Every structure is written in structure tokens, then in C-alpha cells.
Amino acid sequence: MHYRLYVPPQAVGASLIYFDLWNPSTSGQVIEVKAVQVLVTGINVVTGAVSVELHLNRTSAIGTGGTAAVQNGATLTAMTFTGMNTQQPLELITARLTPSGGATAGALFTMRSVASDELGLGGTYVPSIDMARNGYTDVPPILIRPASGMSVVQSATASVGTIGFDVIFKVRPA
């Protein structure tokens, strides 16, 4: 089954872990991440800001603290798992918005530099950037096996702006 993980827009911040997605060892499932799209909002005027450098990592520990994702939520400010063709909730797979601990970075998949101002190149009014497959459908999805996860982390460089994410994935038996 295919799902979306809506990661609501949040203020950018140096070394911020925006979110983590975790597949526990007991899930018996593999997560196939098909897209991790960066969504820059135009809600704040931040013209002339320094770009935000984002890193997509594999993780070796579950995120702690922060706010847990909800299932099929309707609140615009909550991180939400939603089935694309079903109301069936995910079982065991978790995610955290801005975890304060854990979400231990492992292998680095990629880095993207994103303009967080509303008028800059790559900013709000430009199509979103896909960090998982960069829009290439013939590139295989990122596989998250049991006892691993992934996260998006900002570099240590500070900036301003508001960024969210749209994660599209499939869950299948391991």
C-alpha cells in the first residue's frame, strides 16, 4: 500500500532535524521511499536569506522527543500518515517531527541547497525538489529495512524561512 507522510512547514534552524521516519525491527515490513519533496512556503517574507542546506540520511536509531506523527489526521500543523487509496493505518512504523534526540544519522543519501525566500531561485514558486529519486522514476526507491530509518537534517549554517516535506512511500512485507 502507498502512503504519504505530511511534514508540516516549520521554521528552519541550524542543525535542525526536521523529521525522522522509523521502521522498527518488529515490523516485518520494508518501506520503499519513492519521494521526499521539499516544500518551501511563501508565508513569511525572507528576501535575501541564505539558502538552507538539507541532508537526507539513513538513521540507525529511532527519534525521541519531538512530536509523534498521527494517522489520518486533519490538523494542518500535525505530521500525518495518510493512506493514498485506503484509510488503513500503518502498523508499527513511526515518525517524529523535530525529534530532540535519537534519529542517529547514518549513511548520507544526498544534500540539496534550497532557497528559502519567496522570490529566490528554487524558492516557493518553483516546483518542489525531490531528495529521494530527484524525479527519475527509473531510479529504485530508497529501502528502509526493519531497525532503520531516515531523516532530513539542516546543516549547521543558520538561515530563515519555513519548510515542510511531502514523503511518498510504499510498505511491503520484508
Q: Could you read off the pLDDT of 150-161 as tens digits, one per residue?
A: 999 999 887 878
Tell me if 95 sits within 8 A of 21, measured CB to CB.
Answer: yes
Task: pLDDT band for 162, please (50, 70, 90 cuts).
Answer: confident
Q: What angle do CA 112, 117, 164 make, to 5 degrees?
A: 60
pLDDT tens sequence across 110-159: 999 887 765 555 555 566 789 999 888 899 999 999 999 999 999 988 78
Question: Among 133, 146, 161, 124, which residue's Cα sits nearest to residue 50?
Answer: 161
How many Å separate Cα 76 from the centre of its chain? 16
What are the domain boundaries of the chain? 2-173
Q: Does residue 13 surpass a pLDDT of 60? A: yes
Q: What's the pLDDT at 119? A: 58
Q: Check residues 89 and 79 and name the one with the higher pLDDT.
A: 79
If you search the block for the grid coordinates 524558492, which residue do you land on? 123
For residues 103 and 57, what is the distance between their CA atoms, to the nearest angstrom?
9
Residue 130 CA: distances (Å) to CA of 44, 87, 110, 111: 23, 25, 10, 11
Amino acid 125: pLDDT = 59
